[in-house]
Amino acid sequence: MKIKTIEDLKKIKEEAQQKTALREGVGDYKLVVYMGTCGIAAGARGVMSAILEEISKRELKNIIVTQAGCIGLCDREPLVGVEKRDGEKILYGNLTPEKARQIVASHLVNGQIIGDWVVSAQQ
Amino acid sequence: MKEIALHVLDLVENSARAGAKKVRIAIIEDRKQNFFKLVIEDNGRGMSQEVLEKVKDPFFTGQHKKVGMGVSLLAQLAEQCGGYLEVDSEEGRGTKVEAIFRRDHIDRPPMGDIPETLMVLLALYPDLEVEFEHVIDGSRWMMNSKELFQNLGIKGSNDLGLLLPSIRDWMASQEENLLLKGGKIDENQDY
C-alpha cells in the first residue's frame, strides 16, 4: 500500500497495535551507529535506515538505536556497535545497508556474531 | 558529501549535540531567481563570538574532538556554487546556519534522500522537535515531528520503531507531490 496521507499512517499504526506482543530478540541490545561527519560521508545514513527497517519488519522490541560521533576510525566507517546488556560490546566496520540487515538477523535475532566484519570485541 | 540531505543530517547532529529542543529545517528553492537556500535553526546552547569566528575552520571544533569538518565542508561547497554560508549564533539562544547556492550551478549536489535523513533524525532524537519545510517556487509541504507523533498517538520508542519506515514513505510521497506541484524538476536540467 502506498502511504500518502496521515490517515494512511494512522491505519498502519492501528494494525501494528492489533498484532500480539512484539517479539523479543535474544537479549536486550543497544545499537550505536557512528554518525560523525566521516560516518555520514561514508554511508552511515543508509546503514541506519536499513537497521530501522529491519527492526520494524521483524517487529523487534527492546532494541535501542542511538548515535555517536567520530571515534577516529574514519577509514573503517560506517561503523556500528552492538552492545548487549551484560556488557559484551562488538564493533562492526566497513558496513553497507545489506551487511547491516544481516547483523540484525544474525546477531540481534539469533545471537550469532558475524566474525568477518568485527573491528573490535570486548567481553 | 553527495547530497544536500546528508549535510542536513550532519548539521542537525550538531544542533542535537548542542542540546537543542527544537530545530527548524527549511529548504527554499526558486527556479526563476535561481537560488537554493538551506536554513537550519536551533535553540541549542549557541556559540560565543570567539567560537563563531572560527566556525568555518576545518581544524577547529567546539566539541570534544580533534576536527570540525561539518560546517566548513558546507561553507566550501556553497562558495564553490556561487553562494555563501552564514552562521548566526548567540550563547544561550541558539544557532542559525544559512547556506545559499546558485540553484543551477553544476557543482550543487542534488537534494538527495530527505525522507531518509528525516527518518534517521526522528529515530535518533524522538524528543527533539523537528520542523521541516520544503518550498519550490512558492509551493510547499511541511511537517512538525511533535505534532505528527501526537496526531498518530505515538507513545514509546517501541511504537515509533515499528512505524518509522511508514513515516518515511509518507514523507517521500509529500516530497513527490511537491515536485509535481512545483512542476517537474529535473536535477540535471539547464535553465
Percentage of chain B lying above the pLDDT 90 cut: 72
Adjacent-strand bridge partners of A83: A30, A89
At B185 the pLDDT is 54
**pLDDT per residue over A105-121, tens digit each?**
999 999 999 999 999 99
Mutate to test the interface with B, among A15, A45, A54 (most CBs of B within 10 A): A45
At B186 the pLDDT is 54
All structural domains of chain B: 4-181 (3.30.565.10)
**Mean pLDDT rounded to a whole number for chain B:** 89
Distance from CA of A113 to the nearest CA of B (A): 23
Among A15-29, A86-100, B3-17, B124-138, the range scoring the smallest mean pLDDT is A15-29
Q: Over 90: is that where the pLDDT of A102 sits? A: yes
8 Å CB contact between A40 and B1: yes
Q: Would you call B161 an interface residue with chain A, using a CB distance cutoff of 8 Å?
A: yes
8 Å CB contact between A105 and A60: no
What is the ipTM, given to two decimal places? Answer: 0.86
Distance from CA of A26 to the nearest CA of B (A): 16
8 Å CB contact between A78 and A99: no
Read off the pLDDT of each residue in A65-91 and give the average, rounded to a whole number: 93
Nearest CA in chain A to B115: A49
**Mean pLDDT rounded to a whole number for chain A:** 89
Nearest CA in chain A to B9: A40
Percentage of chain B lying above the pLDDT 70 cut: 93
Three-state DSSP state, A25: strand
A12 contacts B123? CB cut-off 8 A: no
Q: How many CB atoms lie within 10 A of CB A5?
A: 11
Cα separations (Å) of B131 from B13, B21, B187?
14, 11, 25
Cis peptide before A97 (omega within 30 of 0): no
Please tell me the pTM assigned to this model. Answer: 0.89
**pLDDT per residue over B71-110, tens digit each?**
889 999 999 999 999 999 999 999 999 999 999 999 999 9
Read off the pLDDT of each residue in B105-117 and give the average, rounded to a whole number: 95
Among B8-22, B60-74, B82-96, the range scoring the smallest mean pLDDT is B60-74
At B66 the pLDDT is 58
At B157 the pLDDT is 73
State the alpha helices, DSSP H only, in chain A: 6-18, 37-42, 44-57, 97-103
Measure CA A41 to chain center: 18
Mutate to test the interface with A, among B3, B120, B121 (most CBs of A within 10 A): B120
Read off the pLDDT of each residue in B179-184 and give the average, rounded to a whole number: 75
Q: How many CB atoms lie within 10 A of CB A119?
A: 15
Distance from CA of B186 to the nearest CA of A (A): 22
Q: Which of A48, A57, A70 sits opposite B65 (nearest CB)?
A: A70
Adjacent-strand bridge partners of A91: A81, A120
Element (H, E) at B5: helix B4-17
Read off the pLDDT of each residue in B54-63 and give the average, rounded to a whole number: 77
Among A38-47, A98-107, B53-62, B160-169, the range scoring the smallest mean pLDDT is B53-62
Q: Over 70: is that where the pLDDT of B34 sits? A: yes
CA distance A113 to A100: 12
At B191 the pLDDT is 41
CA distance A104 to B49: 45
Q: List the A23-34 sheet strands across, edge first.
A: A60-68, A23-34, A80-84, A89-92, A118-122
**pLDDT per residue over B144-173, tens digit each?**
999 999 999 887 777 788 899 999 999 999
Nearest CA in chain A to B114: A45
- Band of the pLDDT at B190, cuts 50, 70, 90? very low
Cα separations (Å) of A62 from A29, A45, A59, B76?
7, 22, 10, 42
At A99 the pLDDT is 98
At A26 the pLDDT is 47
Residue-range domain boundaries for chain A? 23-122
Three-state DSSP state, B28: strand
At A62 the pLDDT is 79
Helices B157-181, A6-18: crossing angle, 10 deg rounding: 160
Q: Would you call A48 an interface residue with chain B, using a CB distance cutoff of 8 Å?
A: yes
What is the number of residues in chain A? 123
A5 contacts B170? CB cut-off 8 A: yes
Measure CA B56 to chain center: 18
CATH 3.40.30.10 corresponds to the domain A23-122: yes
The cell numbers describing A112, all together, are 550469532
Distance from CA of A66 to the nearest CA of B (A): 6
Q: Would you call B120 an interface residue with chain A, using a CB distance cutoff of 8 Å?
A: yes
Structure-model confidence comparison of residues B59 and A57, the more confident one: A57
At A23 the pLDDT is 53
At A39 the pLDDT is 95
